[in-house]
Amino acid sequence: MQGFSTDPHLADLERQLTEDGIYEEFKRRYEEMHNLNWVENRHKFKFHKDKVVETLVDIGFMSEEVARDWSRTTVRPYEISIDRFAQLVKEYLDSKEENHHIVF
């Protein structure tokens, strides 16, 4: 398990922040700015969208306009193609040791 949110929209955000090397900074700044632990509170995202937007802007990941646009997309059903899902699984497996297994 990668430890990302079970909400696919948030998992995509966390994955991108991780790829950019700033996920830990995001979590730290979120807690500093809002006195809330990100991992413990991310399931309440729909009530904390402004806090997330503010943090994404603060760390320079997105402009406020782009962050607000992104947060609006999180109310839509999540869509992912079979090819994209397979690519994500392959990338995850490629990052692990040779004999790593995944159970679905």
Per-residue pLDDT reduced to its tens digit, 20-53: 999 999 999 999 999 999 999 999 999 999 999 9
Per residue in 65-84, pLDDT tens? 999 999 999 988 888 889 98
Report helix, strand or coil for 78: coil
The rounded distance, in Å, linking the Cα atoms of 12 and 21 is: 14
The answer for residues whose C-beta is within 8 angstroms of residue 23's C-beta and 6 or more apart is 14, 17
The residues spanned by each domain of the chain are 8-77
